[in-house]
Chains A and B, each alone.
Chain A
Amino acid sequence: QKEVEQDPGPLSVPEGAIVSLNCTYSNSAFQYFMWYRQYSRKGPELLMYTYSSGNKEDGRFTAQVDKSSKYISLFIRDSQPSDSATYLCAMSGQGNQGGKLIFGQGTELSVKP
Chain B
Amino acid sequence: DTEVTQTPKHLVMGMTNKKSLKCEQHMGHRAMYWYKQKAKKPPELMFVYSYEKLSINESVPSRFSPECPNSSLLNLHLHALQPEDSALYLCASSQDGGGGLRETQYFGPGTRLLVL
Residue pairs across A and B with CB atoms within 8 Å: the count is 77
Q: Does A27 contact B (CB under 8 A)?
A: no
Q: Does A62 contact B (CB under 8 A)?
A: no
Q: Does B82 contact A (CB under 8 A)?
A: no
Interface centre among B2, B33, B98, B105 (most CB of A within 10 A): B105
> How many residues belonging to A are interface residues under a CB distance threshold of 8 Å?
29
Chain A 29-46 interface residues, beta-carbon cutoff 8 Å to B: 31-32, 34, 36, 41-46
Q: Does B15 contact A (CB under 8 A)?
A: no
Q: Is B56 touching A99 in the complex (CB atoms < 8 A)?
A: yes
In the complex, what residue of chain B is closest to A39 when comparing beta carbons? B109
- Neighbouring B residues of A32 by C-beta, 8 Å: 100-101, 103-104
Partner of A88, one of B42, B98, B104: B42
With contacts A99-B31, A99-B50, A104-B42 taken as known, whether A43 is within 8 angstroms of B97 at the C-beta atoms is no
Can you list, as one digit per residue, whether each of A72-108 has a CB less than 8 Å from chain B (1) or not (0)? 0000000000000000100011111111110111101
Chain B residues with CB under 8 Å of chain A are: 2, 4, 6, 31, 33, 40-43, 45, 48, 50, 55-56, 88, 90, 94, 97-101, 103-110, 112
**Cβ-closest 6 pairs across A and B:** A99-B97, A103-B42, A43-B107, A99-B48, A43-B109, A44-B107
A to B CB contacts below 8 Å, 30 in the list? A8-B40, A32-B101, A32-B103, A41-B88, A41-B112, A42-B109, A43-B4, A43-B6, A44-B43, A44-B90, A46-B2, A46-B104, A46-B106, A46-B107, A49-B101, A51-B100, A88-B42, A94-B100, A96-B99, A97-B56, A98-B50, A99-B55, A99-B56, A99-B97, A99-B98, A100-B45, A101-B103, A101-B105, A103-B42, A106-B41
